[in-house]
Amino acid sequence: MRTTGSRAGTLGEMEVLRLVLVDDYRMVTEAMASRLSASADLWVAGCSQTDDPRLPEIIRWLRPDIVLIDVEPLGFAVGEVLGRIRGAWPDAHIIVVSADTDAAHAVEAARAGADAWVSKNQGADQLEDVIRGVARGHSVFPPEMLGEILRTLRDDVRSAQESTSLLDTLSPRELDVLTSMAKGKRARQIAAELMISADTVRTHTRSIFGKLEVHSRIEAVSVAWAAGLRPADSAVSPPAAPPAGPPAGPRPVTTRRSAPPEST
């Protein structure tokens, strides 16, 4: 029996994976939903368009195990959209399905938490294998992209380690000021919060820029985030609790297949 809130349902002794399909073309999602739903262990819970502003809300409501998304129209915005999905329901695995061969876009997807990148040239059987593999914790990227992805992520780790060393050079008060910057607060707000003058905040800010070797607030906050400084009440809020009912407005497109029956 599939239990609400569990990672996956069961059909007898078979694990049933909840899927959400995200694509700009409804005909494509409906065709893919029909094909995937033919497998007893895959259940398409719903569909959405890539640019739907309600996408995070839909993801929170449907609580999928797997999100399949076509990112071709997004380009370098892929990281932003995948980040919204990841923030809405962190338990979901994300599989990108795309004809895009630009490794830089695959890198952005990997940075944003994509578990797999599948070419549209592959068949439905291969896609199903990837879905099941990702559900078991595997990551799947095309061999021709994997080298650049690994090199870039390794460089990201190195940069984060260097950024951490730079943060160690800050005084406790400078770290307080930088933390407030990461929350999106301006100089006067920081001054009021820390009970210091605005001039003192500006002095600390100049010192922070010098020690972090940056020239703007945006750069300073980027270094802070790369080093793992994530204030609890920063502009990026944690995922909200699932709503009590379905999202307002038109319901997401769903397949006609019913939910897996309860086992006896």
Residue 256: per-residue pLDDT: 46
Residue 69: per-residue pLDDT: 95
Mean pLDDT computed over 233-261? 46
pLDDT tens readout for residues 189-201: 999 999 998 888 9
- Burial of 28-53, coded b for 16+ CB within 10 Å and e otherwise, reads ebbebbeebeeeebbbbbbbbbbebe
Of 33-42, 157-166, 167-176, 210-219, which gets the smallest average pLDDT?
157-166
pLDDT tens readout for residues 201-220: 988 998 888 888 888 888 88
Q: At residue 37, what are phi and psi to the nearest 5 degrees? A: -70, -15
In the chain, CATH 3.40.50.2300 covers 9-141
Contacts of 35 (CB under 8 A, 6+ apart): 124
Mean pLDDT computed over 6-27? 76
Question: What's the fold here for domain 159-226?
Answer: Arc Repressor Mutant, subunit A (1.10.10)
DSSP letter at 135 equals H
In the chain, CATH 1.10.10.10 covers 159-226
Highest mean pLDDT out of 13-17, 128-132, 198-202 = 128-132
Given its phi and psi angles, is residue 89 left (phi above 0), alpha (psi -120 to 50 degrees) or beta?
Answer: beta
Question: Which CA distances in Å does 115 have to 130, 133, 156, 189, 210?
Answer: 10, 10, 17, 40, 38
Question: What's the fold here for domain 9-141?
Answer: Rossmann fold (3.40.50)
| In the chain, alpha helices (H) | 26-36, 55-62, 78-88, 103-111, 124-135, 143-167, 172-182, 187-194, 198-212, 217-226
